[in-house]
Chains A and B, each alone.
Chain A
Amino acid sequence: MFAHASGFNWDEALMVFAPIIAICGLWAVAQRRVARKDAADAGDRR
C-alpha cells in the first residue's frame, strides 16, 4: 500500500496552518481598509 511513513503531527499542522491564518488576517485587514477608503471616496464625491 502506498503510505506516508512520516505521518503528520500537530507540530507540522501548526507550521502549515499558522502562515495561512497570518495571510488571511492580512487579507482581511487589507479588504477592510479598501472598503473604508472606497466609502470615504464615495462620500467625497457626493
Chain B
Amino acid sequence: MTAAITPARRDVSVRVLVAVACLVGAQFLHWSVIDAHAREWAAAGAFFFTLALAEGVLAALLLVHLRPWVAATAIAVSAVPVLIWTWDRTIGLPFGPTAGIRGTIGRSDVLSVVFEVTTIVALLPFVRRRSGDGRGRVGLAGRIVIVASCVYVAGFSYWAIFGDLASTHIR
C-alpha cells in the first residue's frame, strides 16, 4: 500500500501543477470566446477552438506523460497566442476583418496572456530535462503555491469572463 502511494507523492512537481492550472485557465478563457470570435470571423473561431483543445490535451499530457517534447509543445502552444495578442494589441493584425486595426485590451485577454506566460516560465526547465527531473518532495510552501495558483486561476478566470460578458460587444 505504501509502495503505491509513495511514487505518486514523489511524482508531483510544483512547476508542472502550476503550468497545468494555467493551461486549464487559458483553455477556459479561450473556450469562452469561441462564439463571439466565430460570429465575426469563422477562422478566428476555429483558431480559438483549436487552441483551447490543444491546451486541454497538453494539460492532460503534462500530468500523465511529462517529456521534453510535451513541455516544448506546451510552451509553443502558449507562445503563439501571446505573440498574436501582442501583435494585435500594438499595431493590429494584417489580416482578417479588422486588418490594421489595433484590438482593445480586456480582462480575459490579459488573464490569458498571464496564464500563458506563466506556463512558459514554469515549463522551461523541463525542455532540457528528463521526465523525472525537477520532481520531488513538495513541502508546505510548495503546496501553498499550488493551491494559491489554482485559486488564482479559477477566481480570476471567472472574474475575467463575467466582467467581459457584461461589457463585451460587437461593434
Interface residues on A, range: 20 to 34
Cα distance A44–B108 in the bound complex, in angstroms? 50
Cα distance A46–B141 in the bound complex, in angstroms? 28
- Interface membership of B11, Cβ < 8 A: no
Cα distance A13–B111 in the bound complex, in angstroms? 10
Stretch of B23-31, B58-66, B70-78, B99-107 contacting A (4+ beta carbons < 8 Å): B99-107
Given contacts A4-B108, A7-B106, contact A26 B144 (CB under 8 A): yes
- Interface membership of B37, Cβ < 8 A: yes
Interface residues on B, range: 35 or more
A4, A23, A27, A33: which has the most chain B beta carbons within 10 Å? A4
Given contacts A7-B106, A16-B156, A23-B148, contact A1 B141 (CB under 8 A): no
Judged by DSSP, the binding face of A is: helix
Cα distance A6–B167 in the bound complex, in angstroms? 6
Whether A8 pairs with B110 at a CB distance below 8 angstroms is: yes
| Chain B min CB distance to A44 (Å) | 17
Whether A7 pairs with B144 at a CB distance below 8 angstroms is: no
Closest A residue by C-beta to B169: A5
Query: Which residues of A sit under 8 angstroms from B166, Cβ to Cβ?
Result: 6
Binding site for B on A (CB under 8 A): 1-8, 12-13, 16-17, 19-20, 22-23, 26-27, 29-30, 33-34
Chosen A-B contacts, 12 in total, with CB atoms closer than 8 Å, are A3-B168, A4-B104, A4-B164, A6-B166, A7-B106, A8-B105, A12-B107, A16-B110, A17-B114, A20-B118, A27-B142, A29-B141
